[in-house]
Amino acid sequence: MSFDVDLSAADEVEVVVVGGGLSGLVAARRLTDRDVDCVVLEAQERVGGRLQRTGVRGAAFDLGGQWIGARHSRLLELAAELGMETFPTFHQGRKLLDLDGRLSTQKGLIPKLSLWHLWVLHRALSKSDAMRRHVPLDAPWEARKASEWDRKTVEDVKRELGLTAPVAALFDASVRTVFGAEPGAISALYFLFYMNSNGGLRRVIEIEDGAQERRFVEGAGAVPERIADALATRVVTGAVVTSITDQGDRVLVESAAGLFAARLVIVAAPPAQVARITFEPALDPERLRLLQGAKMGYTAKTFAVYTTAFWRAAGFSGEAVAAGSSEGPFTFVVDNTSWDGSVPCLLGFRVGRPGRAAPKGDELRTAALKQLVRFFGPQAAEPVEFIDHDWSEDAWAGGCPVAGLPPGLLTATGHRLREPFGNVHWAGTETAEDFCGYMEGALEAGIRAAEEVLSRL
């Protein structure tokens, strides 16, 4: 921050919150509920960050996060407080698995594999489930085997678990869908922490009793919008924060919307974005390494809207998993029809390395529809709307859905994750203990940071 600025022009508040995503907004909501004078500085012209909705033929579809998990109790409570209705995710009917180009259907959760492969799958899930229970959520770096697990990638653990080729392909598809990243890019310790934080791999990937159980009638993007509406002028958009100067008795926050002076600051932005802010005094090297090393995954969502839910009529749930060397841009497809059934929709996810390598523009449309036709028949060829949203093009998210940690970082720098830096406190889903990476984690972290600040005012 340049010291020739006129400090008398600074807006004075008790707390500045950097980032108007769910986490920052919930922190500000908690603070204003306790009569604390605060302001939220949001870089973009809209609030919500990784939550963003769009209107399609009268229905609200989420370009970003959308599902509420079975155990996301803070989010369900918030939804009730905001008067927002939810509905169960449609999942009745046969599911599809495209494994190395071979298509099979299944009724329940168990894929059509030979008994040997199913046994290997069961053994791997049980083993990883047992391992993740040894990772403490508040301090994963203190797990008894933390150093050993943090030296390895998820790919290494896959090898040790002796996965057969089909099981390994299914596992890769799950890791890509959950992190938007390759198993070789993620620390095994971080993976185990993440699974423990979210109740295990089964819960993470499943609909019923899992992380995809319900959706918001108005779209999850309406949650931050509604909180921001209530905060009114306390939310300033178009306010990119460029520097944070901690002077001990106050903190100066320089933004595109002007200079703010506060007693305390909560930073609720994704790690890579925090690393772009200039801190004075400078962030300690461990913290900087953590922020710069946490890499956002690749996730893009494609919505194909139809006049009828023809796949439901044919007995399909709309769920399809493409694993191994299957053709097509999507790793995961799901029924995304509006709550009242009036806007039938299939939603495809392009994730991880194959997602990144998928074609763009018209070629993407051709490849996407070819894959949907293969799954659900010729009617899939003619959507009435085709909408694609690639989160790697969002400069303020820098990818999605979550930042993953490569080997070595969690044990070396993890203890800095939530530790206040002078008068600066940390929120954002990546700092959550519970449900890290999800909306529920964003809430947990925002509320925790607000409580930390309240205890100091």
Contact positions toward ligand FAD, by CB under 6 A? 18-24, 41-44, 49-51, 64-67, 240-241, 268-270, 273, 277, 299, 301, 391, 396-397, 400-401, 428-429, 437-442
CB of 360 to ligand FAD, least distance (A): 17
Q: What angle do CA 284, 179, 97 make, to 5 degrees?
A: 170
For residue 2, is it left (φ>0), alpha (ψ between -120 and 50) or beta? Answer: beta
Nearer to ligand FAD, 235 or 409 (CB): 235
CB of 171 to ligand FAD, least distance (A): 20
Nearer to ligand FAD, 152 or 389 (CB): 389
CB of 223 to ligand FAD, least distance (A): 9
**How far apart are alpha carbons 184 and 182 in whole angstroms?**
5
Beta-carbon contacts of 102 under 8 Å, excluding residues fewer than 6 positions away, are none
CB of 402 to ligand FAD, least distance (A): 6
* Sign of the four-CA dihedral 141, 142, 147, 153: negative
DSSP string, 370-435: HHHHHHH-GGGG--SEEEEEEGGG-TTT-SSS-EEPPTTHHHHHGGGSS--BTTEEE-SGGG-SSS
DSSP string, 135-190: S-SS-GGGSTTHHHHHHSBHHHHHHHTT--HHHHHHHHHHHHHHHSS-GGGSBHHH
Would you call 350 exposed, middle or buried from its count of C-beta atoms within 10 A (0-12, 13-18, 19+)? buried
CB of 301 to ligand FAD, least distance (A): 5
Nearer to ligand FAD, 121 or 334 (CB): 334
**How far apart are alpha carbons 198 and 208 in whole angstroms?**
14
CB of 441 to ligand FAD, least distance (A): 6
Nearer to ligand FAD, 199 or 401 (CB): 401
CB of 416 to ligand FAD, least distance (A): 17
**How far apart are alpha carbons 150 and 55 in whole angstroms?**
43
CB of 69 to ligand FAD, least distance (A): 7
Phi/psi at 91 (5° precision): -150, 20
Nearer to ligand FAD, 149 or 438 (CB): 438
Q: Which residue is nearest to ligand FAD (CB)?
A: 21
Nearer to ligand FAD, 166 or 352 (CB): 352
Would you call 110 exposed, middle or buried from its count of C-beta atoms within 10 A (0-12, 13-18, 19+)? exposed
Nearer to ligand FAD, 131 or 264 (CB): 264
Nearer to ligand FAD, 26 or 168 (CB): 26
CB of 396 to ligand FAD, least distance (A): 3
Distances (CA, A) of 392 to 64, 406, 412: 12, 19, 28
Nearer to ligand FAD, 99 or 228 (CB): 228
